[in-house]
Each structure stands twice: as structure tokens, then as C-alpha cells.
Structure 1
């Protein structure tokens, strides 16, 4: 694929050079035909010529190509001119020599193509080796940079480890001093603990003696408590008996109270009934009083011009009776209220 691209590139470069050298279209097409056939070993066609040159019309490369093939055949024909040979024999000999020359040219062209392919292969191989060498150089440089970075990192880590080692040495020294101090403190605390143990043993003996005495007092207190409990039980039984009797008396009183309440409720109902009756009578008296007052007003209006005196409602016997009845109703109402 790379060989094809390189041939196309070289062909395009040669055609551009020929365009500068041969400004005339027909001459340019003829030179391109020779370039394709003799240098690149490609049989030229009209379409290929037109696509490469892009000048004139399609008939121009076709006519130039016909002239090129005719000229090539004319040049490849071998003429043997000998006065003693017949014409047909000389022509046959010429054609035979032409065929031999064509085969020799084809063989030479094949060898040239093979040699060119070998050269291209060697060039491609050399280019690949150069690319591989460059890649290897790049990888080597990258590895060198990585190793340099790793070396710098290792140096930094070594310095950090040395610093940490110095710190750990100082810490170890401080810890040794602290361990020694803690050992001395542990010995002192052990001696204090022995003293505390002795004191604790003596205190424990005292506590045991105190506990035995307290246990004796507890037994005595327990006996007294049992006696108190018996007395309390007796008192409780007596109180429960009295409570039962009081409950019976309360039930009896409650029954009497219930009967009294029922009697009072019956009296209250009778009183309410009487009150209703009296209220009805009072309403009748009030209506009668109103009618009497109206009659009195009418009598006053009719007797005002005359000089004779008319008995008023206050001095008339019916009015007195009505007033007495109203007073009696009020008194009964006051007595009948609960």
C-alpha cells in the first residue's frame, strides 16, 4: 500500500514538472504517455491521461495515445535490408528480430521492475528500521526519564527515611527514659499497694467484727419486728371488724337517707303541683285586676264631669278581695319554694 502511494506521489510530481516544461497540450500528453509506459511500466489509456493532465478535451488524449502507439510500433519494427534476401524473408526476419527485441525489452523491464521492487523493499525496510530505532530511542529516553524520576524519588524517600529514623531514635530514647521512670513508679506503687493491703486486712477484720455485732443486733431487731407485726395483725383484724360494722351502719344510714330523700322528692312534687295551681290562680287574678283597672279607667272617664263621688277600686269590696287573694297566693308561693 505504501509502494502504491509512493508511485502515485512520484507520478504526480513528474506530471507537474512536465506541465511546466511542455506548455502545449499534445506534447504534454505525449510525454505523460512515455512517462507511464517507460518509467512506471503502465499502459496508458485515454481516461487515465485525461484524469492526470486535465487539459483539452477527451479526444485530445485519445488521438495522442493513437499516435504514441503507432510511433512505438514503428520504432520497435526491425528492418533487415540485404540485396540478396527476398522481401518477404527480410520482413519475416525483421518481425522475428522485433519479437526477440520486444521479449528482451519485456525481460529487461521485468528485471528492472524486480530490481525496483527490491530497492523499494530495502528502502521500506530501512525506513521501518529507522522508525523502530526512533521508537526504541524514544522508549529508551522515556525509560531513562522514568529511572531518573524514580532515582530522585528514591533519594527523597531515603532522606525521609533517614529523618524518620532520627525521629524514631529520639522517640526510642524518650520511651526508654519513660519506661525507666514508669518502672520506678511501679515499684513505688507496689510498696504502697503492700501497705494498702495490710491496712485493708486490718480494716477487713474490724468490718467482720462489726458485721457480726450488726448481725446480732439484726436478729434482735427481727424478733422485735415479728412481735410488732403480730400486734399490727391483731390491730388490723380489729380495725377490719370495726370497719365492717361501720359499713353496715353506713348502709343502714344510707337506706334511711334514701327514704328521706324520696319522701322529700314526693313533697317537692306536691309543692310544685300546688305552686302550678297557685300560679294559674294568680294569672287569673292578674287578668281580673287588669279588667277591673280598665273598667275603673272607663268609669273615671265617664264620671269626670259630674261632681258626685264614685267609689274607687281601692274602696270597692271586689278590689279588696282580689288584693287579699293575691297576697295569699304570694305567701303560699313563698312557703312552697324548696
Structure 2
């Protein structure tokens, strides 16, 4: 955003423009005298002219300044010529019109100074508004950075929870595979037991008529087999209980991970919503800042013009513009309205 130029900077810029427009030294000094006196209300001096232009010798601005004051005095004299008016009345009327013109010029200069003061006050207020907007923008950007950091941290935590959930899922799958293996082992042992009992029954039918000793051995073998089966069943029951407990723990851990993931997702949504709200505030502040910059640019580009001095000579009968000069000089209210219109 460009700041409003100071009066000295604006004067220097206008003088640089005049240097490019008037390459001749005497013409340049004459234009700078008119710029200082009529536009900026500054009484030109030879030293000030030389410091601003820095061309030629010190005698050049002195000579040009003398010509400027002579021409200004000649142009400020108003002559009223009428065939029916005596010479003394013509002189008095001319002095009266000159006095009116001088007072109107003074009033116009006063109005211009008041307008300049008002513009300076508005510029100061605009600058303070720009500073406040910049501070608010910095605060909002800091808050946005904090929210962004919190959002990134939440995303990292969500990824860690997802990783832990994947590990729990893999562990559960491993436990389920182990359970299937144990079940397959139990089924194989049950089938083996059924086959053994069927073979034993066949042998028992064949040896039913055997001796008492063989029967006792058979009974002892059956008893040992039953004890072994009971031990296997107890081990299988214990294994089944351990497996159920492991599955229950895995399901509980999976549910905990799922609840934590849902909580972090909700927090992530809130953080995104807050980031969107802060972005909206930031856009509004930027729009207000742009509007202030446009107002400052308009104020900087407004020209401050002073009424031009025109002579009243005997050639006014052939030039219709000289009559309009006398009428404009006698209307200070019209000059004030024109000054206000140019400022707006």
C-alpha cells in the first residue's frame, strides 16, 4: 500500500515534471515561481528557487524573480475605461475593483488553507485506520497460524490412532488364525479318538472269548485312554477360555480405538470450521484495507488549484475572456464552490 506524499515530496515531484516539460532555464524558473506562489501559497525567493531547480547561476533566479513580481504587479492593476466616466472616477473604480479582487483572492486562499487542513486531518485518520487494520491483520494471522498448528497436531494424532487401530486389527487376525488352528487340532484329535474307539470295539468283539488276563489288560488300557481323553479335554477347555479372553480384550481395544478416532475426527472438524471463520474475517479485513488504500490514493491525486490572475487592458474589447475575468474575480462565493468541487 502506497502512503500519501508529503507536501515537500509533492512539490519536488511537480518540479521534476516541470524540468522535463521546460528545458530552458529561465522558463523553468518562471514556472516554478508560479507554482510556489499560486498553487502552494509560498512566497518565492531567489535562494529557494535555486535550491529547488539547481540550474544556471544565482543571478538567473534573481532576474526571473524580479520579472515575475513586475509582471504580477502589472497584471494586478485593473483599468476601467468608459467614454462617459471622468479620469478620476475611472481610477477610483479601478482601485475599487482591484480591492475587491484582492479580498476575494484572500478569501479564496483562506478557504483553500481550510480545505488543506481538513484533508490533512482526514489523511491522519486514514493512516491511523490503516495502522489499526494492519495490527488486526497481524493478530488474525497469528491466530490462524496457531489454529493451523493445532490442526496439524490433530492430524498427526489421528494418523497415530489409525496406525494403532491397524496394529490391533492385525493382532486380532493373528489371534483368530491361532483359534482356527487350535480348533482344527481338536477336531483332528476327536476324529482320532473316534477311530481308536471304533477299532477298540472291533477288537473287543473279536477277543470277547479271550482269557481273563487279556480282559483285565483291555480294561486297564481303556481306563488309561479315558484319563488321557479327560486331560486333553481339560486342556482344550482351558485353551478355549484363554482364546475367548484374548478375543474379548482385542474387541475392547478395538472399540476404544474406534471411540478415540471418532473424538479426534470431531475435533478436527471443529478446527476446520474455526479456520474457515478466521479466513472469512481475514478476507473482510483485507477488503477494508483495500478500500482505505483507494481512499488514500484518491486524496493524494486531488489537485489543489488557485485562481489565475488576468490583466485588464485596453484590448479587452477584442477579447471576450477578459470580461469573464473581472466577473470571476468579484465572486468569492463562486471560487469557494469551485475549490470545494475540485477537492471532492
TM-score by length of 2: 0.42
**Quick one: higher RCO (CA 8 Å, sep 6+), 1 or 2?**
2
Largest Rg, 1 or 2? 1
